[in-house]
């Protein structure tokens, strides 16, 4: 795909894996550093968005700057089409993954809690989480997938390494969340693999971005009232486990075999 696109435009630049890792580090420095700077001296609880001020300081501004970084890198590479579309063939059944993610997000959202905080807060929380989904998917399922694919990695390795790096990146939350960030690494690794399957199932990065953003919105809505846990959020873990089990059982039926060769499959072709 990369070679064909390079012949078509003559302007694409290759992103090496080590260069992608540098972009990941810069992204994390922006998000964590700017967030820490804007909340310095404030009593801010991790993962508990209770006010508009919290969302602006912890999410909107730092993630907005990080998104500018990833868009800049994508523009420099000249790889908009290659980043936002995926032409690797898949079985039709994989469309179950995005459907399940969107349906679950709709079911587990804490609508009562959001209503109690007002429309402005609910809308900003939605926008903030869509920003997170846009930025992290552009980084990992966009630039990351592109980097590994165009440097000779099999599709299984592409899915594996982008998932591992996605989970590991969330380990930086240990700065604000403490040891519980280690649990988050495992949880986000699982969701990262599911978002990769959304990309593969739809062929569109925007679908993974939307799934990511709406999933985070629904899960975080359960934490806007820390003293009143939202029980339906527990369904998210069940759905993730079932989707991962489905992918494991049907791992050899994710991608159709290409003529003249056998596709290497596990979480990908």
Closest CA to 213 of 77, 98, 117: 98
Report yes or no on 268 lying in a domain: no
27: CB partners within 8 A, 6+ apart: 66, 69, 70, 135, 139, 169
Report yes or no on 197 lying in a domain: yes
Look at the chain and report how many structural domains it folds into. Answer: 1
Choose between 267 and 151: higher pLDDT.
151
* Percent of the chain topping pLDDT 90: 59
- Residue 26's alpha-carbon distances to 67, 169, 172, in angstroms, are 11, 11, 12
Report yes or no on 258 lying in a domain: no
Report yes or no on 219 lying in a domain: yes
Report yes or no on 50 lying in a domain: yes
Choose between 13 and 259: higher pLDDT.
13
Q: What does the pLDDT read at residue 179?
A: 62
Choose between 235 and 9: higher pLDDT.
235
Asked if pLDDT for residue 225 goes beyond 80, the answer is: no
Q: Determine whether 159 is exposed, middle or buried from the number of CB atoms within 10 Å of its CB (0-12, 13-18, 19+).
A: buried
Q: Sorting pLDDT into bands at 50, 70 and 90, what band is 174?
A: low
Work out the average pLDDT over 82-95. Answer: 84
**Cross-strand bridge partners of residue 204:** 85
CA separation for the pair 104, 131 (Å, rounded): 20
Report yes or no on 202 lying in a domain: yes
Global pTM? 0.86
**Cross-strand bridge partners of residue 85:** 204
How confident is the model over 30-79, as pLDDT tens digits?
Answer: 999 999 899 887 766 666 677 899 999 999 999 999 999 999 999 999 99
Report yes or no on 261 lying in a domain: no
Asked if pLDDT for residue 3 goes beyond 50, the answer is: no
* Structural domain harbouring 208: 2-253
Report yes or no on 265 lying in a domain: no
Q: What does the pLDDT read at residue 139?
A: 98
How confident is the model over 107-152, as pLDDT tens digits?
Answer: 999 999 999 999 999 999 999 999 999 999 999 999 999 999 999 9
CB 83 within 8 A of CB 203: no
Work out the average pLDDT over 160-176. Answer: 83
């Amino acid at each position: 795909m990369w070679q064909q696109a390079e012949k078509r435009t003559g302007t694409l630049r290759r992103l090496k894996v080590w260069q992608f890792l540098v972009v990941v580090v810069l992204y994390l420095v922006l998000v964590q550093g700017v967030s820490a700077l804007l909340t310095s001296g404030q009593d801010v609880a991790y993962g508990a968005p209770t006010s508009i001020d919290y969302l602006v300081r912890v999410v909107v501004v730092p993630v907005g700057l990080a998104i500018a970084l990833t868009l800049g890198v994508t523009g420099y590479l000249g790889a908009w089409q290659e980043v936002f579309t995926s032409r690797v063939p898949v079985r039709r059944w994989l469309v179950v993954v995005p459907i399940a993610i969107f349906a679950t997000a709709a079911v587990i959202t804490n609508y009562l809690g959001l209503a109690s905080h007002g429309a402005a807060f609910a809308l900003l929380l939605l926008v903030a989480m869509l920003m997170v989904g846009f930025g992290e998917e552009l980084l990992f399922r966009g630039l990351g997938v592109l980097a590994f694919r165009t440097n000779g990695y099999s599709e299984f390795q592409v899915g594996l390494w982008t998932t591992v790096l996605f989970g590991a990146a969330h380990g930086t939350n240990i700065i604000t969340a403490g040891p519980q960030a280690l649990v988050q690494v495992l949880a986000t690794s699982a969701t990262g693999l599911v978002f990769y399957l959304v990309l593969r199932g739809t062929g569109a990065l925007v679908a993974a971005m939307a799934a990511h953003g709406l999933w985070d919105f629904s899960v975080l809505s359960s934490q806007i009232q820390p003293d009143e846990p939202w029980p339906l959020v527990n369904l998210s873990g069940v759905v993730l486990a079932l989707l991962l089990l489905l992918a494991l059982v049907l791992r050899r039926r994710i991608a159709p075999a290409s003529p003249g060769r056998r596709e290497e499959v596990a979480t990908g072709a």
